[in-house]
Amino acid sequence: MQIANVLLMASMVFPQAPDTLDVATVTDSRNIAARSSAPLQRVESRLLQETGTITLQEALRTFAGIQVKDYGGLGGMKTVGIRSFGSQHTGIMYDGQVISNAQNGQVDIGRFNLDDIKSISVEISGSDDIFRPARLATSAGVLSVESARPVFDSTGIQASAQLRYGSFGTWNPYLNVKRRLSDRWAGTFWGNYISSKGNYPFILYNGDITTREIRLHSDVSSFNGETSLYGDIGQDGSLAMRLSYYSSERGLPGSVVLYTQNPHQRLWDDDRRASASYEAIPDEKWKIKSSLSYDRAWNRFVDFDPIHEEPEDDRYLQREGSLSAIALFSPSTGIDFSAAQDLVFNSLDSSIPGCPFPERITSYTSLSGKYDRSRLTAVATLCGTVVSEWVKIGTPALGRLHFSPSASIAYRLPLDTDLRIRASFKDSFRLPTFNDLYYSRIGNRRLNPEKASQTNAGATWTQDFGKHSISAAADGYWNMVRDKIVAVPSMFIWSMRNVGKVLMLGSDLSFSYRGGFSDRLTIQASGNYSYQYAVDVTDPAAKNYRHQIAYTPRHCGSGSLVFETPWINMGYTMQAVGERYTLAQNTPAYRTEPYVDHSLSLNHTFSFGERHRWSLHTSAEALNISNVNYEVIKYYPMPGRQYRITLKISY
Amino acid sequence: MKTINKFFIAALAALSLTACRQDPPFVPETGIQGAVVLNNGNWGSNDASIAIYNPDDKTVAAEQFFAANGQHLGDLGQDILVLGDEIYIAMNGSKVVFVTDRDLKIKEAIEVEYNGAKMAPRYLAESNGKVYVTYYEGFLGEIDPSTHKVRTTAVGSYPEGLCIKGGKAYVANSGYGYDNTVSVVDLASFKEVNKITVNQNPQYVVADKDGKTLYVCSWDAYDPVTYAVTSPSKLQKVDLASGNVSDMDYSDVKCIVEGPDNKMFVAQGGYDENWQVCGSIKVIDMASGADKGLFTKDQILNYYSLSYSNGFVFVGASDYKTNGDIYLYKADGSLVDKFDSQGLNPQKGLYL
């Protein structure tokens, strides 16, 4: 990890040939994944480009043990869960900053733009990276998106303009400008606009009646923009400052209700974020990082249901301020200690009658140690979390203190090949959200955090055979969720309670291959398979005792294949998901069919001009090519076959 | 407790029989005799269904509407009623009233529009050969069974339960928790002629056979800011001649339904030590308002619904995440059976 950081910092402002870096990071990242003492998966931007992947939900299909809940269409909410844990157990990090939602715990990953990123990675049940914000230690797993830092040649400027058109009236212009401002400073800007009618056709099966329908009220338009300033301060210090803006308006089509279709809800978002981070290496034994961020997320929900005399019109405003400091001490090679402290402030204002205007301050303190020499890697972390809350009306939830320990170990076997065995353990939790605690009548201020425990054991193998290389990982796990926060019905109203208990036994297998067959053909292939036995063990007398929890396939897998040639790159990805049940009780009426989604991409980048400074990237994709009519969430149909083309000109 | 154990064994037996049931298609029953259960389902999930309990072999057949028609019932089955050789099913989410024959085969799908959008039916009642239906949009509808045509008249906001006595329809206007009236609709002119002010959030109304006394069940109403119960649930008695409204001594009233012999059943809900809902059912003489005691000594865990049909009382229980249970009683309070309702949230029973 340290190597990667140093590489990153070195490459930031100073000229470097992009290709060299690319190869270096690809190799580096694969090694990191194989060496990791807890499951780590990573994909680099180059592979995303070659497989024609433009959204995070598409990218995550090829990750083992990851489930994206997708309500369909570009505007439909997409959340990511790790190994049958609810999405609220997934920590989401963008460029080292945690993105969260204190109101409902759900981060919509559909809004991430992948046009200028470096990599996407997912860590499950632990991490070898101990130089990062303390609060990540409280998540069962972490999804991390890292943006590409600017790399300049002698001109000191880079720019690209892109236009993408897709099925169902989707237009997506994108602009990116990066400029070196001085020896030490560089600035970047990108803006991404998406407009989509989202009126995709689907087939509605109602027993013997099959009708061709159009998804109604699924339009979306959004603008996402970011401007960053990067600077080198002192000899080994770097500063990054960023302003981000996201704004959108979308129709909420709701579930497809049989015999009547009249969706009438809309959602507006306006999210502004400012952040700054500073990283320095004061001497060879110390490394420090500190960051500050402020996020203001506003949204408006309107229900135009004709049943209401006046439309329901609700506003929500969330604020999050966060301060994070990390120090890493390396007394000798391969031995690191870190201490991290996060302070996070959250608040929620809403126009909903009865909103008590909750505010929360959470302090996360983590201490970690890492040993990484020759064959053995061992990491241990303990994180303490203290939560305090205030409300303007009524009484707040009680303060809480919670500890999350984790430990992992990996050992490289004394063989000729790079075969490692690993084991990890992690206790984590999710805090009750503001909705869980305070939402109108159902909120319950006495809720405890929902606890997750994970035990993982597995092996990784990597082998280079000259031009060919193989890597594989196999892991088995035993997880428990206790005090699951669920809505429990009572006489007149529902209330949130800590009553659920879920047992998960599963396995993730993954494999990847890369081979150069000649100067003109490189093939990359990867595949993964996941088995999840995730059952409700709350109450032996209940009808759903030991039934698979809702929306969790027992079997799923994915694969991808990329052919790189000088003339064209071809990428193919597929995802297969087994039967699921949409209800806690697994009865035939609630079974949903398995599905397979295949996608194909053809792309090529032309270079021209003096010293090949100009490039034109062209890409065409066909998604869900077999036009399978499937649903991730029952009665939220996914689009069938769709196409998109991209033209991107870069300097 | 012994009786409960017996029910549990019966339920197990019912479950084990149904466990052998394979995937759809389900086999339709014809010449239905027995208990018909309408399962409400989950909002937005199109999972309302009808199960049929056969009292002879004590089996429950699932998805009988689907089996008879090859199409699903739709979203939120709110009410079901039999009139002559027709069955009426009010689908609140799917905004349709299905009319079927006694084998559940669809004869008509009745959809009524208001302001260019379909209206959402709630509860059904029958009188003088006509079927009456409340619509959430603030209307009472009258369905003519010979044509299946509907005429509507305006009542209060978010009308729920209704009853018909003496040429008048009484409709509980819940206002989604904020209204406190019962509309009186004269059926001859089909116009609202009066509004009776009652406790906030009225849900169900029942009138005695002479049309002298109206009973109104209202649910808790909450302060939108503090969530405190501002107006607790009540059972009220309305003297229809004088218009006097008086509170009766019942708390946590969940539902009232008309029973035989000018009696009504009252479901009350409390909590057990595990904060689970425990329902109890009482009998009230509607002429005098006198309490006739408990209908059954059974405590209904996860009480969900109460209905009466043709000499049988149906008590539905639900945990909202697994198939519900029906406790089927004779009108004298003797338990016939407890069975799995083969669907989520058993809302209403009919005995054919």
| pLDDT bucket at A97, cuts 50 / 70 / 90 | very high
Q: Which of A111-125, B23-37, B209-223 has the lowest mean pLDDT?
A: B23-37
Report angle CA A486, A492, A493 to the nearest 5 degrees.
30
Tokens coding A369: 């140690």
Distance from CA of A99 to the nearest CA of B (A): 30
Total-model pTM: 0.90
What is the model's pLDDT at position A29?
Answer: 57
What is the model's pLDDT at position B240?
Answer: 95
What DSSP letter does each residue of A296-325 carry, written as one string? EEEEEEEE--TTSSS-EEEEEEEEEEEEEE
Would an 8 Å CB–CB cutoff place A157 in contact with chain B? Answer: no
Nearest chain B Cα to A541, which residue? B8
Q: Are A426 and A140 in contact (CB under 8 A)?
A: yes
Convert the pLDDT of each residue in B265-290 to its tens digit. Answer: 999 987 666 666 678 899 999 999 99
How confident is the prediction for chain A on average, in pLDDT? 91
Average of per-residue pLDDT across A10-29? 40
Would an 8 Å CB–CB cutoff place A17 in contact with chain B? Answer: no
- Of B117, B269, B323, which is closest to A585 when you measure between CB atoms? B323
Q: Are A324 and A356 in contact (CB under 8 A)?
A: no
Distance from CA of B207 to the nearest CA of A (A): 24
Residues of chain B with C-beta less than 8 angstroms from the C-beta of A493: 220, 222
Contact assignment for B226 to A354 by CB distance below 8 Å: yes
- The CA distances from residue B173 to A532, B97, B134, in Å, are 49, 20, 10
Q: Are A640 and A629 in contact (CB under 8 A)?
A: yes
Task: Tell which wins on pLDDT, A16 or B328.
Answer: B328
Residues of chain A with C-beta less than 8 angstroms from the C-beta of B224: 353-354, 440
Average of per-residue pLDDT across A116-143? 95
Residue B165 predicted with pLDDT over 60: yes
| pLDDT bucket at A611, cuts 50 / 70 / 90 | confident
Q: Is the dihedral of CA A391, A396, A397, A399 positive or negative?
A: positive
**What is the per-residue burial (b if ≥16 Cβ within 10 Å, else e) of B126-135?**
bbeeebbbbb
What is the model's pLDDT at position A490?
Answer: 66
What is the model's pLDDT at position B13?
Answer: 39
Contact assignment for A259 to B70 by CB distance below 8 Å: no
Residues of chain A with C-beta less than 8 angstroms from the C-beta of B254: 491
Most confident of A142-156, B222-236, B336-350: B336-350
Residue A575 predicted with pLDDT over 90: yes
Convert the pLDDT of each residue in A502-540 to its tens digit. Answer: 999 999 999 999 998 888 999 999 999 999 999 999 999
- Of A256, A585, A634, which is closest to B322 when you measure between CB atoms? A585
Would an 8 Å CB–CB cutoff place A210 in contact with chain B? Answer: no
Contact assignment for A634 to B45 by CB distance below 8 Å: yes
Q: Which of A536, A534, A434, A553 is nearest to A484 (CA)?
A: A536
Distance from CA of B82 to the nearest CA of A (A): 22
Enter the DSSP assignment of A449: P
Residue B169 predicted with pLDDT over 80: yes
Residues of chain A with C-beta less than 8 angstroms from the C-beta of B91: 259
Q: Which of A247-261, B91-105, B218-232 has the lowest mean pLDDT?
A: B218-232
| pLDDT bucket at A150, cuts 50 / 70 / 90 | confident
Q: Rg for chain B (alpha carbons), in Å?
A: 19
| Residue among B20, B42, B43, B46 with most chain A CBs within 10 A, to mutate | B46
Q: Rg for chain A (alpha carbons), in Å?
A: 24
| Residue among A258, A310, A494, A535 with most chain B CBs within 10 A, to mutate | A258
What is the model's pLDDT at position B6?
Answer: 42
Task: Tell which wins on pLDDT, B4 or A497.
Answer: A497
Percent pLDDT > 90 in chain A is: 81
- Of B322, B340, B342, which is closest to A584 when you measure between CB atoms? B322
- Of A208, A489, A583, which is closest to B70 when you measure between CB atoms? A208
What is the model's pLDDT at position B272?
Answer: 64
How confident is the prediction for chain B on average, in pLDDT? 90
Residue B21 predicted with pLDDT over 70: no
Contact assignment for B46 to A441 by CB distance below 8 Å: no
Contact assignment for B271 to A542 by CB distance below 8 Å: no
Between CA A533 and CA A83 the distance in angstroms is 10
Distance from CA of B291 to the nearest CA of A (A): 23
Contact assignment for A207 to B66 by CB distance below 8 Å: yes
What is the model's pLDDT at position A600?
Answer: 97
Contact assignment for B46 to A582 by CB distance below 8 Å: no
Average of per-residue pLDDT across B108-132? 95
Residues of chain A with C-beta less than 8 angstroms from the C-beta of B270: 491
